[in-house]
Homo-oligomer: A and B are copies of this chain.
Amino acid sequence: MDLSVRIGSLRLKTPIMSASGCFGYGVEYADVVDLSTLGAVVVKGLFLKERAGHPPPRIVETPAGMLNAIGLQGIGVHRFVREKLPELRAKGATVIVNICGTTIDEYVEVARVLSEAEGVAAIELNISCPNIKEGGITFGCHLGNTHDVVSAVRRATPLPLIPKLTPNVTDVASFAQAAEEAGADAVSLVNTFLAMAIDVETRRPRLSNGMGGLSGPAIRPIAVRMVYECARRVRIPIIGMGGITSAADVLEFLIAGATAVQVGTATFVDPFIFGKLESGLRDYMSRHAIERVAELVGTLEMPGGTRR
């Protein structure tokens, strides 16, 4: 049985990765999870410099989901390369680094630093964080800006480049196309939905930042739809995510058109989830006599009368 998939020049052992911001820098889990068994460890969004992030409360639970406004607290790319990357390499992890910037130059510089480091498998370009003004949403919600930042980073790095798209747009597939045209090797989606929860007793938001990003099972049906739409409009691989908690959910994304998936919120609930998802996927494949996981990708049979 072949679980491997290709994202540009990169070959992943399995299609199942951790999602950025939901698995720290990966090293936090090195004792309990064999990081080398994951398709990839996608690390927390990194700016060039350290960032404090937002004051707490930073999360709040909502029906079948959660809001977060962490504010991209992080150690910056240089400390990451010095302090975390060696351990990730030692553990045999395939490392994808999620990068952020407030300007195109910053994205480019972060990408450059990572390209020179040893042990980075790919770059995920975060142009979709809804939680900070400069978190890229300014890039991720305008086609022209998306094209510009992807092109610029494309020129700066030979690493596989994966822009991460925001779902907070009218036509996500047009952003996937813009990324493809600008030279992306793949796109990943979805980041979180901009959302808000109010404490009606105090009449204040429940998050210190006011708004936050919705993730978890609640958003899965929207995320699956968006992956399906993108898969029909671009030829580069798609990395799907949003509310995956079971092997059936992984399969939904693959069948909708994702070549690989990421698991975010569900890792909070179960840090041991990766092994369970992989074995569920294997069970399904043997039940359906599917030899290579790649055969499943985009196999959704849409009814004739459908509207899209």
Q: Which A positions have Cβ atoms within 8 angstroms of B? A: 54, 62-65, 67, 131-133, 141, 168-170, 193-198, 200, 202-205, 208-211, 214, 216-222, 224-225, 228, 243, 248, 251-252, 255-256, 284, 299-303, 305-308
Contact = CB atoms under 8 A, between A and B. Distances in A.
Contacts of A141: 170
Nearest to A212: B221
Contacts of A219: 218
- The 10 A-B residue pairs whose C-beta atoms are closest, nearest first, are A210-B306, A195-B221, A63-B217, A218-B218, A64-B64, A63-B64, A196-B225, A200-B251, A195-B222, A169-B170
Contacts of A308: 210-211
A210 B133 CA distance: 36
A203 B295 CA distance: 13
Nearest to A168: B170
A225 B243 contact: no
20 contacts: A63-B65, A63-B218, A63-B243, A133-B307, A141-B170, A169-B170, A193-B221, A193-B222, A194-B225, A195-B224, A196-B228, A200-B251, A200-B252, A200-B255, A200-B284, A203-B301, A205-B302, A205-B306, A209-B307, A210-B308
B218 A256 contact: no
A302 B210 CA distance: 6
A62 B301 CA distance: 20
B256 A198 contact: yes
A126 B282 CA distance: 45
A65 B220 CA distance: 11
Given A170-B170, A195-B224, A204 B303 contact: yes
A209 B305 contact: yes
Nearest to A252: B198
